[in-house]
């Protein structure tokens, strides 16, 4: 469910965070494209909420647009930060013994006594390198299989 602040930044037509919000004379705001679609389906240029008639080309609501852009940036940033399910802190370290990410509070807990840790970015790079090394021989085998399949297919087609 959307938070109260997110609901305040949502267009009542599309129910999404405003994109290029425009301000009607009745003080209601809508996404520019939502309002245009709404008006195309009706004989008058009325507000979708209060039905007051408005001008055809309403002005951009710059303050609301800036608020929405800031909100979306913050929301995306929060979503990209992985949080510990126990402490709700950012996962900054990787436990080499459990092979899982951990927050600073969990690292100090009894569960991780005498464990070895690496910064999560460093551990991610190491895992990425190991995966790439594991994939290389598989890629070579796949190329050989594709070449054999193509050769067999070409040979069959030529003999027909």
State whether 20 and 73 are in the same domain. yes
Q: Are residues 76 and 24 in the same domain?
A: yes
Which of these three, 52, 80, 108, is where a domain ends?
Answer: 80
Q: What is the side-by-side strand order in the sheet with 100-102?
A: 100-102, 93-95, 117-119
| pLDDT higher than threshold 50 for residue 1 | no
Given this model, what pLDDT does residue 75 score?
Answer: 82
Torsion of Cα atoms, 76 then 80 then 85 then 87, to 10°: -80
Host H or E run for residue 46: none
How many domains is the chain partitioned into structurally? 2
Residue 86 lies in a domain: no
Same structural domain for residues 9 and 62?
A: yes
d(CA 59, CA 25): 9
Residues 61 and 110 in one domain: no
pLDDT recorded at residue 155 = 57
Say whether pLDDT at 105 is over 60. Answer: yes
Same domain, 99 and 143: yes
Contacts with 93 (C-beta within 8 Å, 6 or more apart), sequence order? 101, 102, 103, 104, 107, 117, 118, 119, 120
pLDDT the model gives residue 149: 63
Residue 6: predicted pLDDT: 80
- Give the pLDDT confidence of 108-132 residue by residue, as tens digits: 999 999 999 999 889 989 988 998 8
Residue-number span of the structural domain to which 109 is assigned: 93-159
The pLDDT value given to residue 7: 84
Higher pLDDT, 114 or 138: 114
What are 33-88's pLDDT values in tens digits? 999 999 999 989 999 999 999 888 899 999 999 999 999 988 887 766 788 888 88
Boundary-marking domain end, from 34, 50, 80: 80
- Taking the chain, what is the end-to-end CA distance rounded to the nearest angstrom? 62
Quick one: 25 and 75 in the same domain?
yes
d(CA 87, CA 104): 9
Phi, psi of 7 (to 5 degrees): -60, -35
Tell me the C-alpha distance between 42 and 28, whole Å.
Answer: 18
Rounded Cα distance between 39 and 91, Å, is 48
pTM higher than the cut 0.85:
no
Q: Is 115 within the bounds of a domain?
A: yes
**Of 49 and 89, which is predicted with more confidence?**
49
CATH number of residue 11's parent domain: 3.30.40.10
């Amino acid at each position: 469910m959307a938070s109260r602040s997110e609901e305040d930044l949502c267009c009542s037509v599309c129910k999404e965070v405003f994109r290029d919000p425009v301000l009607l004379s009745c003080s209601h705001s809508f996404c520019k494209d939502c309002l245009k679609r709404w008006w195309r389906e009706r004989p008058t240029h009325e507000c979708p909420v209060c039905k007051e008639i408005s001008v055809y080309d309403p002005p951009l609501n710059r303050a609301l647009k800036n608020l929405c852009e800031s909100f979306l940036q913050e929301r995306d940033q929060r979503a990209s930060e992985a949080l510990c399910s126990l402490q709700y802190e950012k996962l900054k370290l990787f436990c080499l013994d459990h092979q899982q990410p951990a927050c600073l509070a969990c690292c100090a807990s009894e569960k991780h006594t005498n464990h070895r840790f690496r910064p999560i970015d460093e551990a991610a790079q190491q895992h990425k390198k190991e995966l790439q090394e594991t994939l290389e021989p598989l890629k070579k085998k796949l190329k050989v299989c594709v070449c054999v399949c193509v050769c067999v297919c070409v040979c069959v087609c030529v003999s027909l």
